[in-house]
């Protein structure tokens, strides 16, 4: 915009006195001054438009700053929802029987798990002799092998003809089996073999064939696992996986025969951290917004966008839930200061009972499924939406106004240039006429002085 703002100055700077082309009267500089003053007056509307563009630039810049802060606030808000998977935890009475892992939003409660059989995997092993170096020797000279796991077969193609490469190719094949290279000999006389184990429980067949013969000997035949949840079903649930889902979002791994409880409880540790980040983002947006309020405010003082943003913040923090023991952010430690910013007291969350924690999670909800988070997210969308949000629409309005100003400035520049040309021509003619009159006056004065100097009876001229 600096180029546009210098348009008038650059135009007027070219209007220096032109006495060499418009005449040499003693009034030449005065005439040129009149031209400059006329152009200065004619340029006032254009200067006002340029000043308006400067104002628009400041508003657009401040809107961009506020938009970024409100986007950060919305991201922090959504982060509270993102911590949802960490709001529950599982505790196991006897971890030697089962271990537990929360993978989603498991419901708080106690689950009794009776492991009837932890199950086992099948294993097989090669019996080749003379393999003392697994980096250069293998079970067979074949370059391709057929691996059988259960009822499925897989083509195995090692990168080199070595036992290490064969094991790596099996592990990279996608087959549900794990291959390792083991030493069954002494350190002085090593004897390396290929050991294979199924990843699934049960009697899984394992075999490796080089095209002419089988290379593995079965060691153990696995068994299925079996368990009950809360005593059901009486005969147990059979599984070929050591990790089973006993409730939505709750997995347990079967370790040994026995019965133990798995207790799922809610906690707000991660929510507490995210609420703190939310308060920080809120205060940053609020503080910047306050710079555009009052008689000494910034470029957006009086702008409707500021009012909309203030209203959004107030509505968001004033949200009240319905039902349950937690119905406001204040009960979670988020409160106003006298300055209008927020503070967060983490002890408020830490002191909640299990029932209050559950109610707090209900109060918070999710950006897409009710509660404070959905209300707040929708409220902020009215500010941050890239198409219909306050920042986007206000910025577009300012850009349109700036473009209209620029169009008018371009038209005014053309008119100013035409006015300059016309005035220069008129003043050149006037200057030439004055010069002619002054020359004639000088000639007449000379003639008069000559005539009186040759007539002793005449009075002196002048």
Q: Residue written as tokens 């910013």?
A: 341
pLDDT tens profile 374-400 = 999 999 999 999 999 999 999 999 999
Q: What is the mean pLDDT of the chain?
A: 88
Q: What gap in Å lies between CA 63 and CA 166, rounded to an integer?
A: 63
User: How high is the pLDDT of residue 16?
Assistant: 41
Q: Which residue has the higher pLDDT, 37 or 214?
A: 214
Give the least confident one: 1-10, 136-145, 278-287: 1-10
Place 357 in a pLDDT band, splitting at 50, 70 and 90: confident
Nearest to 373 by CA among 79, 20, 32: 79
**Residue 8 pLDDT > 50:** no
Q: How confident is the model at residue 429 (pLDDT cuts 50, 70, 90)?
A: confident
Confidence of residue 7 (pLDDT cuts 50, 70, 90): very low
Give the pLDDT confidence score for residue 427 in this predicted structure.
78
Q: What is the pLDDT of residues 120-136, one digit of tens each?
A: 999 999 988 889 999 99
456 Cβ contact list (under 8 Å, min separation 6)? none
Give the strand pairing for 342-344 and 232-239. Answer: unpaired
Rounded to whole angstroms, how far apart are CA atoms 351 and 404? 59
Lowest model confidence (mean pLDDT) among 55-59, 258-262, 344-348, 352-356: 352-356
How would residue 239 be classed by pLDDT, with cut points 50, 70 and 90? very high
- Domain boundaries along the sequence of the chain: 54-84+269-393, 88-118+225-266, 121-220
- DSSP type of residue 162: S
**What is the per-residue pLDDT for 431?**
76
Beta bridge partners of 208: 147
| pLDDT at residue number 455 | 67
pLDDT interval class at 12 (50, 70, 90): very low
Q: Exposed (0-12), middle (13-18) or buried (19+): which is 80, by Cβ within 10 Å?
A: buried
Q: Is the pTM of this model over 0.75?
A: no
Closest CA to 305 of 48, 70, 57, 77: 70
């Amino acid at each position: 915009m600096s180029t546009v703002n210098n348009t008038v100055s650059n135009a007027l700077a070219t209007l220096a006195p032109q006495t060499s082309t418009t005449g040499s009267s003693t009034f030449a500089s005065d005439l040129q001054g009149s031209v400059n003053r006329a152009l200065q007056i004619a340029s006032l509307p254009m200067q006002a438009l340029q000043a308006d563009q400067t104002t628009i630039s400041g508003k657009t810049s401040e809107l961009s700053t506020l938009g970024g802060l409100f986007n950060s606030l919305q991201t922090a808000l959504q982060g509270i929802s993102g911590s949802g998977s960490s709001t529950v935890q599982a505790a196991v009475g006897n971890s030697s029987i089962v271990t537990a892992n929360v993978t989603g939003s498991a419901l708080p409660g106690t689950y009794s798990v009776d492991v009837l059989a932890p199950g086992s995997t099948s294993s097989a092993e090669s019996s080749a002799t003379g393999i003392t170096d697994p980096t250069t020797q293998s079970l067979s000279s074949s370059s391709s092998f057929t691996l059988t796991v259960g009822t499925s077969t897989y083509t195995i193609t090692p990168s080199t003809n070595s036992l290490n490469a064969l094991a790596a190719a099996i592990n990279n094949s996608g087959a549900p089996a794990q291959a390792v290279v083991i030493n069954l000999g002494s350190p002085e006389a090593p004897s390396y073999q290929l050991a294979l184990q199924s990843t699934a429980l049960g009697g899984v067949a394992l075999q490796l064939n080089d095209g002419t013969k089988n290379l593995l000997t079965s060691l153990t035949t696995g068994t299925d696992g079996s368990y009950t949840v809360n005593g059901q079903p009486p005969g147990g649930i059979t599984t070929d996986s050591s990790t089973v889902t006993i409730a939505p979002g709750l997995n347990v791994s079967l370790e040994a025969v026995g019965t133990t409880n798995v207790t799922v409880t809610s906690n707000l540790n991660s929510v507490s951290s995210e609420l703190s980040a939310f308060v920080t983002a809120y205060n940053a947006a609020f503080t910047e917004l306050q710079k555009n309020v009052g008689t000494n405010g910034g470029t957006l003082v009086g702008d409707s966008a500021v009012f909309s943003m203030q209203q959004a913040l107030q509505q968001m923090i004033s949200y009240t839930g319905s039902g349950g023991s937690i119905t406001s952010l204040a009960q979670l430690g988020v409160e106003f200061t006298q300055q209008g910013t927020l503070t967060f007291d983490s002890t408020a969350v830490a002191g909640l009972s299990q029932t209050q924690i559950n109610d707090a999670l209900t109060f918070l909800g999710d950006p897409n499924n009710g509660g404070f988070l959905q209300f707040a997210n929708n409220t902020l969308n009215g500010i941050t939406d890239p198409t219909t949000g306050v920042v986007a629409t206000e910025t577009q309005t300012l850009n349109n106004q700036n473009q209209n100003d620029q169009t008018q400035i371009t038209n005014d520049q053309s008119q100013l240039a035409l006015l300059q040309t016309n005035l220069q021509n008129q003043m050149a003619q006037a200057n030439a006429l004055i010069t002619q009159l002054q020359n004639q006056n000088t000639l007449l004065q000379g003639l008069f002085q000559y005539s009186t100097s040759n007539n002793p009876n005449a009075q002196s001229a002048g």
